[in-house]
Structures are given as C-alpha cells and as structure tokens.
C-alpha cells in the first residue's frame, strides 16, 4: 500500500503541490449533461494544474453514464491508466471528478501513485494563494472538513493494526479516533473565530450605508481584477491563472454623473467548488451580500461562458446573495471568436454590457448603466445652510456625494446625492433653512441592444 508521511493539521492536506515541479496525469469522467467533447473535457483542469505548478505528462478521458462506484473508471480504462502511469513515471494522478474516500483508496492501491481529486487540488491552490489571516483560517477550515473523512487514506500513521477475532482494537484505530477528535476540536475553534470575523465584517460593511457599494463577482479568471484596475486605477495584482487572488479588495470608483462608490473585487468561483470552501468563505463575500449593485463579470471569449455564468449564480444562491440589482459584464470582447455565444447571453440577460477591460472598450457605457441602476437607491438634494455649520458639512462630506456648492453671503447652497436612508435625518435637521429633494432623471441606457461590433466585423451603428 502507498505510504505517506504524517502531516500536521494546520498544513495543506498533502505536501504542497508547488514545493517542486511534480509530474501528473490528468483524468476525467465528464458529466454527460455538459456535452463536452474529449478535446475540451480537461480544459479547466489544465488551468487548475498550471496554477498549481504541476507538469502534465499525460491525459485520459472516459465517457460514461456515471463514474464507476469503486474506481471512477471502468476496468479497461483503469488498465490503460496503469500503463500510462508506468510509461510516464508520473508522481500524481489528478482527477477532474470529486472522488469518494473509497474510490481514492482503491485507485491508490491499483496505481501505487498519489491520487488527487478536483476538490483537493482546488483546496491546495487556495492554501498556496491565501495571504491574509482570515483567508488562511478559511482555507484551513475547508481542508480539515475535507480531510476528516479521509484519514485512513491520507495519513500512514493512522493505519489499523490487525488483530484476531475478539481482540482489542490496535493502536492504529485508536490513533484515528485521537486525530479525528483533534480535528473536530480545531474545526470548532476555527468556526468560532470565523464567526467573529463574519460579524466584524458585517458591521464594517453595514457602516458603509452612506456610500453605494458595488461588488465584482464572476468565474475565476474572468478578468475581474483587470476590470477593477481599469475602473479605479487600483493596481491590484493580475495574473493569467485561476484564483490569482483570494482576498476582497475595495477601492473608490468615481462614476461620471453619479459620484464616488466603493468597488469590491471578490474571490472567483469555479465549477464544483468544494462545499467546505463555499461555507468557509462566506465572510469574504459579505460585500457581495450587502452590495447595492453586482457587476457579474463573464469571460465572453470562453466557449463555456453561459455555463460559467450559471455556476456563479448557483454559488451566490448558496451563500444567500440575491441577484436583484445586477449587470452582466461580458468582458474580453476583443478576444471573442464566436459572436453567436455573446448574442445568446445578451438575449438571456437584459442588463448586459460588452466591454474589454484590457483596451477600455465599453467602460463608459458600463459606468452609465451602473449610474442608472444605483440611482434608484439615491436622490439628489439641494439644501441651504450656514457656511459655518461645520457639523452638518462634516456629516455631508462623510455620508453624501457633494456635487456642487455655491456661497451666498453667509450661507452655502449644496447639491448632494444621498442615500434614501439618510433623508429622514436631513429633513429633520433644524440647521437646514431650505431643502429640495429631486429624484434622478430617468434614462434608457439599459435597453437591450440589438447588435454588437466584433473585431474583423463590419461596423455597426450600435455602440458596444
């Protein structure tokens, strides 16, 4: 049986895949409902493995109605995989499927190689990319929850020592119980600490109700960080890899005609994201839950763009985010090869804007669309007060967007955009001598467009 060294609880599930360049064979039994050909079945896994820094030396795909309950692969394909492992001397066999503990154990006995499934690979990548204390706590919790049911397979010192009928249990079985109890204790500690983090983040985000909060959500590598840099000049880290960044970043975005808003970039999603990871990252996605507007960024050049958009909506639903006020941002329009795919998305999503964060195409229209949707929760207010009313002026500077100010004698006339939540306070403020409330003008920027201009296509009259 394959032997492993014991691994401390707080460390990644295995020796981190990026500690050295390791070789792997990629295997997939694709879901028949996804209608993927063999040539595309491993595309996303290739991206994940590239991010993990592993060298691919072989691939294997088997189309089945459902994975084999014992080994995921059928007997013939398992024999073929064994021959491929021997021929390439690969160290790892990485499955695009989520394996049961028994499937993983059976495969390791058959192949005498370390077997890594999709969830474990994603967890390892998250562990590598976690930088903040909060992210490290979240990843550790997800790893321990994943590990708990796989103790016998993953740690050699937990193997049971065989005894005769009626004999007392050997020290191996007792060690399993001991380590499972330690894991349970650590999981409880992490859940308490993350609950505190979640409550603290809820309070912090809740205190921003004076400013509009816009959140970027989307599939990993859809270009969210590039878009944030293009809109805010934030200079956040960007890389052509999956899960390049895990921590939420918030920057100020000044929208022409509306004013300053807070723009947050969140962790990207992926198909079959481990449930343990979704649960542990709830606090990180607090900005998305409390956002006034969601910008759902989709890689329009990806053939699976529609499926990826559906995956994001599914995960958002799991963490309790209502997709009410949202704009579908079809990014990377400069790289689109299949125009029909974008037309399908634009027909399905009424609020869809095509952009290229890389070259700036469509960003002005995105700002106008965001301004229109955000205006529903804000009103413009003209008010007059004493120029020496420092308390009120300070309040407005913190809780409103001051669009214009004019001085008349000892008074100042301010034109502000303010959240409807603050109207009662302003209306009851005795130091305001005059107040006029004006709703924002209605616009039609979000009316569905009928055509899109692509690279190497004839010009159209409809702006992208």
CA distance 32 to 35: 6
- Give residue limits of the domains in the chain: 210-373, 377-438
Mean pLDDT within 374-402: 84
Instruction: Give the pLDDT band of residue 282 (cuts 50, 70, 90).
Output: low
Q: What are phi and psi of 132, to 5 degrees?
A: -85, 160
Mean pLDDT within 406-419: 87
pLDDT of 59-109, one tens digit each?
Answer: 999 998 899 999 999 999 999 999 999 999 999 999 999 999 899 999 999
- Rounded to whole angstroms, the maximal C-alpha distance in the chain is 100
The whole-chain average pLDDT of the chain stands at 78
Burial of 164 (0-12, 13-18, 19+ CB in 10 A): exposed
Q: Does domain 377-438 have CATH number 3.30.70.240?
A: yes
Indicate whether 155 pLDDT > 60. no
Annotate the chain with three-state secondary structure.
CCCCCCCCCCCCCCCCCCCCCCEEEEEECCCHHHCCCCCCCCHHHHHHHHHHCCEEEEEEECCCCCCECCCECCHHHHHHHHHHHHHHCCCEEEECCCCCHHHHHHHHHHHCCEEECHHHHHHHHHHHHCCCHHHHHHHHHHHHHHHHHHHHHHCHHHCCCCCCCCCCCCHHHHHHHHHHHHHHHHHHHHHHHHHHHHHHHHHHHHCCCCCCEEEEEEECCCCHHHHHHHHHCCCCCCCCCCCCCCCCEEEEEEECCCEEEEEEECCCECCCCCHHHHHHCCCCCHHHHHCCEEEEEEECCCCCHHHHHHHHHHHHHHCCCCCCCEEEEEECHHHCCCHHHHHHHHHHCCCEEECECCCCECHHHHHHHHHHHHHHHEEEEEEEEECCCHHHHHHHHHHEEEEEEEEECCEEEEEEEEEHHHHHHHHCCCCEEEEEEECCCCCCCCCCCCCCCCCCCCCCCCCC
- Nearest C-alpha neighbor of 191 from the set 141, 149, 153: 141
pLDDT of 208-236, one tens digit each?
Answer: 555 678 999 989 888 888 999 999 987 76
Burial of 378 (0-12, 13-18, 19+ CB in 10 A): buried
Contact assessment for residue 327 and residue 293, using Cβ atoms and an 8 Å cutoff: yes
Indicate whether 452 pLDDT > 90. no
pLDDT of 413-434, one tens digit each?
Answer: 998 888 777 888 888 888 888 8
- Nearest C-alpha neighbor of 123 from the set 95, 98, 143: 143
Instruction: Give the pLDDT band of residue 132 (cuts 50, 70, 90).
Output: confident
Position 170 scores a pLDDT of 45
CA distance 454 to 405: 43
Mean pLDDT within 328-352: 87
pLDDT of 38-60, one tens digit each?
Answer: 667 788 898 889 888 899 999 99
Instruction: Give the pLDDT band of residue 284 (cuts 50, 70, 90).
Output: low
Q: Which two tokens stand for residue 45?
A: 């896994």
Indicate whether 135 pLDDT > 90. no
The reply to whether 210-373 and 377-438 are identical in fold is no
CA distance 287 to 269: 15
Any bridge partners for residue 331, and if so which? 299
Please state the CATH superfamily assignment of the domain spanning residues 210-373 in this structure.
Answer: P-loop containing nucleotide triphosphate hydrolases (3.40.50.300)
Position 283 scores a pLDDT of 59
Any bridge partners for residue 412, and if so which? 385, 407
Position 456 scores a pLDDT of 38
Q: What is each CA distance from 315 to 269, 291, 410, in whole angstroms? A: 8, 16, 55
Position 163 scores a pLDDT of 38
Indicate whether 13 pLDDT > 80. no
């Amino acid at each position: 049986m394959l032997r492993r060294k014991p691994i401390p609880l707080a460390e990644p599930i295995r020796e981190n895949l990026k500690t050295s360049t390791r070789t792997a064979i990629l295997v997939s039994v694709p879901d028949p409902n996804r209608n993927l050909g063999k040539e595309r079945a491993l595309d996303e896994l290739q991206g994940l493995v590239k991010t993990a820094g592993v060298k691919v030396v072989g691939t294997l795909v088997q189309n089945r109605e459902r994975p084999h309950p014992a080994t995921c692969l059928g007997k013939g394909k398992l024999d073929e995989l064994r021959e491929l492992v021997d021929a390439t001397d690969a160290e790892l066999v990485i499955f695009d499927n989520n394996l049961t503990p028994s499937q993983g154990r059976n495969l390791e006995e058959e192949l005498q190689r370390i077997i890594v499934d999709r969830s474990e690979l994603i967890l390892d990548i998250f562990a590598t990319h976690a930088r903040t204390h909060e992210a490290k706590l979240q990843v550790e919790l997800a790893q321990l929850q994943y590990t708990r049911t796989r103790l016998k397979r993953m740690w050699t010192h937990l193997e049971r020592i065989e005894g005769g009928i009626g004999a007392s249990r050997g020290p191996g079985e007792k060690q399993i119980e001991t380590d499972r109890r330690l894991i349970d204790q650590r999981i409880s500690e992490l859940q308490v600490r993350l609950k505190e983090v979640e409550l603290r983040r809820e309070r912090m985000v809740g205190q921003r109700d004076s400013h509009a909060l816009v959140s970027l959500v989307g599939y990993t590598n859809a270009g969210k960080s590039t878009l944030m840099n293009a809109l805010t000049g934030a200079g956040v880290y960007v890389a052509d890899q999956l899960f390049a960044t895990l921590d939420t970043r918030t920057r100020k975005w000044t929208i022409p005609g509306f004013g300053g808003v807070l723009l947050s970039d969140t962790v990207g999603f992926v198909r079959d994201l481990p449930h343990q990871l979704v649960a542990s990252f709830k606090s990180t996605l607090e900005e998305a839950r409390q956002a006034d507007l969601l910008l759902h960024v989709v890689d329009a050049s990806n053939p699976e763009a529609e499926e990826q958009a559906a995956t994001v909506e599914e995960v958002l639903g799991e963490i309790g985010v209502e997709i009410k006020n949202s704009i579908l941002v079809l990014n990377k329009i400069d790289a689109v090869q299949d125009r029909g795919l974008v037309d399908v998305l634009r027909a399905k999503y009424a609020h869809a804007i095509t952009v290229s964060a890389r070259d700036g195409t469509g960003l002005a229209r995105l700002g106008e669309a965001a301004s229109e949707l955000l205006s529903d929760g804000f009103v413009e207010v003209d008010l007059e007060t004493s120029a020496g009313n420092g308390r009120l002026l300070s309040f407005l500077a913190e809780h409103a967007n001051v669009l214009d100010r004019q001085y008349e004698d000892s008074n100042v006339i301010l034109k502000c955009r303010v959240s409807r939540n603050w109207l009662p306070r302003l209306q009851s403020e005795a130091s305001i001598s005059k107040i006029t409330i004006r709703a924002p003008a209605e616009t039609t920027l979000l009316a569905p467009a009928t055509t899109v201009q692509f690279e190497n296509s004839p010009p159209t009259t409809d702006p992208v």
